[in-house]
Chains A and B, each alone.
Chain A
């Protein structure tokens, strides 16, 4: 067996049945080996390596399994970088395999040689270059183990072309531990004891939950904890869908475009319990006046997150799947009805000042919020919503309803425009039984619009919902609010998206009037296959509430 065949064999050993990629010279032996395994491994040919890697990310998020992505050396490998950086900051398990020029050519500026190991170093959890086929099994075994374990992340294995051709005696063993890497941390019982005391004595405790809950598959443990303690809980963008939207203790979204109550009351709680979240600056605003009054309990699997941005009075290191039940044992049955009422009061204010007009606008102009509202009515919160980046992302996350976990897929930490469409393809392939809706803006869509061809080729039944405001909306909003309405390079003269969709043989519809909206959404969801629905929305609508950048969260603006 040669190195390339070994790679394919390892994919089978790791239960990989679907991969994403794009071929080229330095990875051709692997593609050749894949040819013999088409029945067992489906290869999704994207139309750009960035599309392939975002699809792998979407697949990983929807399925909980690592996404695997193949690319050739040089430009193939560098085209992966945005997605790798996105996966690193959003903790998505990915195994990227890149071809590399022959080992004797390394360092000679050979055709399509780039030092992808150095380039990817700051944005990978781990990476490694293989120059000898005999290293392939151990390197890939480590790659899968590292990508999946602890706080997940992307790894990259760069394999020289000669190593792909080289013969080896194949033997494969899964990697289950590494002496220099401790992904599982045993919980500290004292910290749990102290945290429980703090929680039991708290008058106004508040829970912030992030993606850690989802990555740990600890949604049930989490819910039991909040229900036992009666503590209101708010989510980060990536924590969304870990707790169903309609849960009485779900008080909404944190951060820059989050809900009014969760932001305002972060600065009034007495105990702040952060679960699997990392106090991103989009969540905290100015740290100097962030929750300074509160005692902070921080549960996280990654020791480097503790005290990184917000000082934890009680850090609880470990997998929340393990630590939450320990905490649950020690906390009292309780409720905080008056405190919860404060959130409801804020929600009422926000409803009157922001939400009502967004979901039920009075004028003729369609709003993004009303589109999302009608989608909710017909999906009952069962769809996977994948978004791109911008105003539509914030509206989709604020207003979509979710009844099950792993249902919101978005580029949080990196805010990568172009993420939505390919990630939705991956999500659909990773969760084929679920409805997958890509909600995208006209700007971001055009960054990876070529992936419509991937939909056409794979027949992935992705629903594409374009909220078209003919602007780079989010940037325009900032220009309006903070740069005197000087709309510098944010207005877009767009192509006819209907024609484009048709070119890719995807049924398409455009809605400009409210009267046609509901019917169009019903058709969109009912159609058995990919569908492209474009809704023309208010060109200069804004997303509120908003915490201006640099301000404290309590300075949240409702208009």
Chain B
């Protein structure tokens, strides 16, 4: 075992999958020679050659659209959108074709591809470099959406995504690409898509988060514990399909829930989770489920982003509100 960061985990998963299966190919903008602007694909071209890891023209719709054709003709493309905020030119391809080809052709043609994108704020970047677009993709039937929060999960989930016979949108929390290291096995392993993880056990309230927001949420749980409140924390890991069982089991136990996400509040996955909790655990609730999220605004430029991103303190205040509901 070696201690690696989340970005290295991406690279390692790609390398192992390329080694394991010659059908796996990697391409995108600056992905080949340079190894990507974040270096997620570094050295892959050197190791596997220009026919396995290549630079694409600067055209997102083509990166995805060409990937679709390659998947139909026997390959497993793992493509990169340089930033999730630049995936929008590819929306038509993702929504109209990636997600639908299996259904449209009643199973004759499938698109086993992975679309990787760094997402999220907190990196003091230019406009369009900080968005969290998971809800767009989770809304589309036919797509799976995965958002890891640790190096260990990243490696196992990316390997699972590449081996999955369905298309997967893989959103990488770029803010924590290099934030911390974790012991990660050198051999390959899989973490199943569609399974959330209870990362902290507790009794008083369930906190649900994913990706880069896990750190804030866990910090908030610690602060709450200091005040005698014991949150259970769930790392959702897969946004679509959501692991309802893990969420419901926890909320039935705690009777309270807060969802934390970076994306804007309206139409976010927080709302979906609250709906699931209402449908499946209503009679166990001690307080209405609620959320701590980004605002219904575009992601602010760097001088304002600290206000936008949910902080442990904001989460803590909400925890106290919910725990003290009607008391």
- Whether chain B is bound by chain A comes out as no
Could you list which residues of chain B lie within 8 angstroms of chain A, going by C-beta atoms? none
Could you list which residues of chain A lie within 8 angstroms of chain B, going by C-beta atoms? none
